[in-house]
C-alpha cells in the first residue's frame, strides 16, 4: 500500500496547494520514488465542466475524458504522471454516487448519513488503485473551516487511523501576511487555522508557510510551538518569480527532508535535481524574448487559460527565449483597431472558448494574421474562427458562421450528432445535458504526410485531447480547399477535420483539439516549440 500525504490549506484560498503538491511530487520523484495524485473538491458541482472559467479557472481534461480541476494540470506538467478520472472527485459526484446507491436500495433500509456513508465513499475513492506507487499526494480543495469541506476533512482524519500506522501525514499550507504599519509578518492566522484543523481531529505534521518575505527564525519557532509541529517541519515558502523554481526552493527549505522524516524514512537516496536546475537557469538567463498576443474571451483571469500559458512558457524554454504575453479581449477587436492592437505581436494565438461573444473580434485577428503573414495558432474555437474567416474572405461564402451562435445560412461549423471513437459510435443531441456531453478526451488524428503539422510532430498518427461540441462541417471542405485552406489532419474515419493550415504562410495552424493540455516542462509540446520558434523568427524580421 502506498503512503499518503494529505495536503490542506488554511487562512485564504489560492495559496498554491496544487503547485505545492506538484512540486513535492517532483521532489519525491527526484529521489527515485513513484507518485500518484488525488484531488478532492468539496463543491457540489458534479465536475467543473459546466462552471464558468471566471468561477473556477480552466477545466483540465484528461485522456480518458474527465473534466477536472486545473490543479491536475500542474501535477501532470511537473511530474509527467498521467492522470485519469480516478484522480479528481467533487462532493457533487460523491453525493451522486451515494444517492444512486440509496435509490437502488443498497443501504438495506439504513439511514444514509454523512458519517459513515459519505465519508466512506470519499475514502473508497481516495485509496482506490494506489498499490503500484510509493506515495499518493492527496490535495483537499478549499480552505479548512469551509462548511462543505467538513466531510472530506473527516474522511482523511479517519484514513490516517485506518491506514497502517505511520503511512499517512498531513501538510498544511498557510499564509503569513505582512502588516506594513507593524512592520511584521503575522503568525496568528496560521495559529488559528491550525487550531481549526486540530478541532476536527487533524494535527498537521508539516506546515508550509507562504510569505512574501523571509520569515525570521524566531517566528518559525513560534509557529512550531503554538501549532504543535516540530521546528524543522515549519517550512517557509517564499513567493518566486517562476513556478519552475518551486521544487528547488522547497527542497532548499527542507520540505522533502521533512516529509521523509515524518514517515521515518531514513535511507532515501539524495535527490537528483539537475534537470530542474537546467530549467531554472534558462528561465533566469534567456537569449532573447518574443511577444505573443493571445486573443481570448476570459483574459482578465489568467487561470482561465492556465495550461495554454504554461505550454507557451515550455515553448519559450525550449527555444531559450522569454515569452512575453499580451492578453487581448476579443470583444474589443474590430476591423478598425486590429492593426493597432496586433502590430507589436511576433505571433498571434486565438484561444478556445464557448459562446458567440467576442467571436467577430477573433475572426478579425485571424484575418490580420493570415494577411500580414504573422505566425498564427488557433486552438479549438480559435481554429473554428479561422475556418469561418477562410469561408467568408477566401471562399466568398457570405454569412458563414457557427451554429453555436444561432441558426445561420452557412454553418461551416456545426453540431455533429454522431462520430466514432475507436470502434464505437458516440452520439449527442441538441437537447442533451450540458455537463459531460462534449467530445471529450483523447481522440486519434491522422495527418497528411506532406503537411507542415506532420513535420512538426514528426509523425502522421497522433492522439490529442478534445473538449468541444461543434465541428468543422465537412460539407464545406471541398469549397474551402479550393479557396486555399489545407485540411492537414482528419479523424481516422475521415469525417471530422482536426487541423488546418495554409501553404503560403510562414506558420498558420489551427487545431480542433487542445495541445496545451499535454505540454509538460520536460516534454514540451512540439506545436508550442515550433510556434515560439516561428515567433522568434518573426521578431528578427520586424
| 470 in contact with ligand GLN (CB under 6 A) | yes
Stretch that binds ligand GLN, among 48-56, 329-337, 462-470, 523-531 (CB under 6 A): 462-470
CB 474 to ligand GLN: min, Å: 15
Out of 122, 380, 454, 485, the residue judged to bind ligand GLN by CB under 6 A: 380
| 468 in contact with ligand GLN (CB under 6 A) | yes
| Lookup result for grid cell 451522486 | 96
Out of 67, 498, 516, 533, the active site residue is 516
Of 31 and 467, the one with the shorter C-beta distance to ligand GLN is: 467
Query: Rounded CA gap, 427 and 416, in Å?
Result: 8
Query: Rounded CA gap, 96 and 103, in Å?
Result: 11
Q: Are 210 and 220 in contact (CB under 8 A)?
A: no
CB 405 to ligand GLN: min, Å: 9
Q: Phi first, then psi: what are they for 90, rounded to 5°?
A: -115, 165
Establish whether 514 is a catalytic residue. yes
Query: Rounded CA gap, 507 and 487, in Å?
Result: 15
CB 296 to ligand GLN: min, Å: 10
**3-state DSSP call for residue 350?**
strand
- Those residues with Cβ within 8 angstroms of residue 484's Cβ, 6 or more apart along the chain or in another chain: 390, 394, 502, 503, 504
Q: What's the first-to-final CA gap in the chain, in angstroms?
A: 58
| 465 in contact with ligand GLN (CB under 6 A) | no
Stretch that binds ligand GLN, among 18-26, 294-302, 461-469, 490-498 (CB under 6 A): 461-469
Query: Rounded CA gap, 53 and 353, in Å?
Result: 10
Per-residue x/- track, 399-438, ligand GLN (CB under 6 A): -----x----------------------------------
Out of 138, 209, 227, 380, the active site residue is 380
Interaction with ligand GLN in 355-374: which residues (CB under 6 A)?
none
| 377 in contact with ligand GLN (CB under 6 A) | no
Q: Rounded to an integer, what is the distance from CA 407 to the centroid of its chain?
A: 33
Region class of 80: left (phi > 0), else alpha (psi between -120 and 50), else beta: left
Query: Rounded CA gap, 424 and 436, in Å?
Result: 17
CB 186 to ligand GLN: min, Å: 43
Radius of gyration of the chain (CA): 25
Of 143 and 473, the one with the shorter C-beta distance to ligand GLN is: 473
Torsion over CA: 488, 493, 495, 498 (sign)? negative
CB 190 to ligand GLN: min, Å: 40
Out of 37, 327, 354, 447, the residue judged to bind ligand GLN by CB under 6 A: 354
| Lookup result for grid cell 485577428 | 365
Out of 155, 381, 509, 527, the residue judged to bind ligand GLN by CB under 6 A: 381
| 39 in contact with ligand GLN (CB under 6 A) | no
Stretch that binds ligand GLN, among 214-222, 363-371, 464-472, 522-530 (CB under 6 A): 464-472
Establish whether 161 is a catalytic residue. no
CB 194 to ligand GLN: min, Å: 41
Of 174 and 384, the one with the shorter C-beta distance to ligand GLN is: 384
| DSSP H or E run through 135 | strand 135-140
CB 512 to ligand GLN: min, Å: 8
Out of 101, 186, 421, 469, the residue judged to bind ligand GLN by CB under 6 A: 469
Q: Phi first, then psi: what are they for 293, rounded to 5°?
A: -105, 125
Q: Which three cell numbers stand for residue 470?
A: 461543434
| 467 in contact with ligand GLN (CB under 6 A) | yes
Out of 315, 353, 361, 378, the residue judged to bind ligand GLN by CB under 6 A: 353
CB 336 to ligand GLN: min, Å: 26
Q: Are 223 and 211 in contact (CB under 8 A)?
A: no
Out of 314, 514, 525, 533, the active site residue is 514
Of 319 and 384, the one with the shorter C-beta distance to ligand GLN is: 384
| 513 in contact with ligand GLN (CB under 6 A) | no
Query: Rounded CA gap, 168 and 175, in Å?
Result: 23
CB 380 to ligand GLN: min, Å: 3
| 256 in contact with ligand GLN (CB under 6 A) | no
- Name which of 19, 27, 131 is nearest 77 in CA terms: 19
**3-state DSSP call for residue 506?**
coil
Q: Are 144 and 197 in contact (CB under 8 A)?
A: yes
Query: Rounded CA gap, 536 and 542, in Å?
Result: 10
Establish whether 380 is a catalytic residue. yes
Query: Rounded CA gap, 289 and 135, in Å?
Result: 39
List interacting residues with ligand GLN (CB under 6 A): 352-354, 380-381, 404, 467-470
What are the catalytic residues?
Answer: 380, 514, 516
Amino acid at each position: 500500500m502506498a503512503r499518503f500525504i494529505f495536503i490542506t490549506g488554511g487562512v485564504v484560498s489560492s495559496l498554491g496547494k496544487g503547485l505545492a503538491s506538484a512540486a513535492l511530487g517532483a521532489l519525491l520523484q527526484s529521489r527515485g520514488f513513484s507518485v500518484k495524485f488525488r484531488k478532492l473538491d468539496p463543491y457540489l458541482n458534479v465536475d467543473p465542466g459546466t462552471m464558468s472559467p471566471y468561477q473556477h479557472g480552466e477545466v483540465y481534461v484528461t485522456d480518458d475524458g474527465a473534466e477536472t480541476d486545473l490543479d491536475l494540470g500542474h501535477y501532470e506538467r511537473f511530474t509527467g504522471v498521467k492522470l485519469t478520472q480516478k484522480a479528481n472527485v467533487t462532493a457533487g459526484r460523491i453525493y451522486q454516487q451515494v444517492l444512486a446507491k440509496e435509490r437502488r436500495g443498497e443501504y438495506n433500509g439504513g439511514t444514509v448519513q454523512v458519517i459513515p456513508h459519505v465519508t466512506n465513499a470519499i475514502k473508497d475513492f481516495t485509496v482506490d488503485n494506489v498499490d503500484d506507487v510509493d506515495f499518493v499526494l492527496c490535495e483537499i480543495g478549499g480552505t479548512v473551516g469551509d462548511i462543505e469541506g467538513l466531510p472530506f476533512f473527516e474522511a482523511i482524519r479517519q484514513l490516517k487511523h485506518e491506514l497502517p500506522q505511520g503511512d499517512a501525514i498531513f501538510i498544511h499550507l498557510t499564509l503569513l501576511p505582512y502588516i506594513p504599519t507593524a512592520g511584521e509578518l503575522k503568525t496568528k492566522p496560521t495559529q488559528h487555522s491550525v487550531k481549526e484543523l486540530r478541532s476536527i481531529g487533524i494535527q498537521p505534521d508539516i506546515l508550509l508557510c507562504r510569505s512574501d518575505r523571509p520569515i525570521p527564525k524566531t517566528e518559525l519557532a513560534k509557529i512550531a510551538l503554538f501549532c504543535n509541529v516540530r521546528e524543522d517541519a515549519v517550512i517557509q515558502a517564499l513567493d518566486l518569480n517562476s513556478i519552475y523554481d518551486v521544487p528547488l526552493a522547497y527542497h532548499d527549505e527542507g520540505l522533502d527532508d521533512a516529509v521523509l522524516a515524518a514517515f521515518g524514512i531514513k535511507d532515501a537516496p539524495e535527490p537528483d535535481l539537475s534537470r530542474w536546475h537546467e530549467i531554472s537557469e534558462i528561465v533566469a538567463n534567456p537569449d532573447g524574448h518574443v511577444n505573443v498576443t493571445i486573443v481570448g474571451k476570459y483574459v482578465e483571469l489568467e487561470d482561465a487559460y492556465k495550461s495554454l500559458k504554461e505550454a507557451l512558457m515550455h515553448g519559450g524554454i525550449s527555444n531559450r527565449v522569454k515569452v512575453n504575453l499580451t492578453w487581448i479581449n476579443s470583444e474589443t477587436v474590430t476591423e478598425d483597431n486590429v492593426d493597432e492592437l496586433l502590430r507589436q505581436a511576433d505571433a498571434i494565438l486565438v484561444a478556445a472558448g464557448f459562446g458567440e461573444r467576442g467571436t467577430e473580434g477573433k475572426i478579425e485577428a485571424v484575418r490580420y494574421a493570415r494577411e500580414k503573414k504573422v505566425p498564427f495558432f488557433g486552438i479549438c474555437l480559435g481554429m473554428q474562427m479561422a475556418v469561418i474567416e477562410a469561408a467568408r474572405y477566401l471562399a466568398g461564402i457570405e454569412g458563414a458562421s457557427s451554429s453555436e451562435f444561432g441558426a445561420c445560412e452557412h454553418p461551416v461549423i456545426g453540431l455533429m450528432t454522431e462520430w466514432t471513437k475507436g470502434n464505437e459510435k458516440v452520439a449527442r443531441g441538441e437537447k442533451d445535458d450540458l455537463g459531460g456531453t462534449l467530445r471529450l478526451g483523447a481522440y486519434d488524428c491522422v495527418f497528411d504526410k506532406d503537411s507542415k503539422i506532420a513535420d512538426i510532430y514528426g509523425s502522421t498518427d497522433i492522439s490529442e485531447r478534445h473538449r468541444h461540441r461543434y465541428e468543422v462541417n465537412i460539407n464545406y471542405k471541398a469549397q474551402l480547399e479550393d479557396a486555399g485552406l489545407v485540411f492537414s489532419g482528419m479523424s481516422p474515419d475521415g469525417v471530422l477535420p482536426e487541423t488546418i493550415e495554409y501553404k503560403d504562410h510562414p506558420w498558420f495552424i489551427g487545431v480542433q483539439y487542445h495541445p496545451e493540455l499535454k505540454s509538460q516542462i520536460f516534454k514540451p509540446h512540439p506545436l508550442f516549440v515550433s510556434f515560439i520558434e516561428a515567433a522568434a523568427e518573426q521578431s528578427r524580421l520586424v
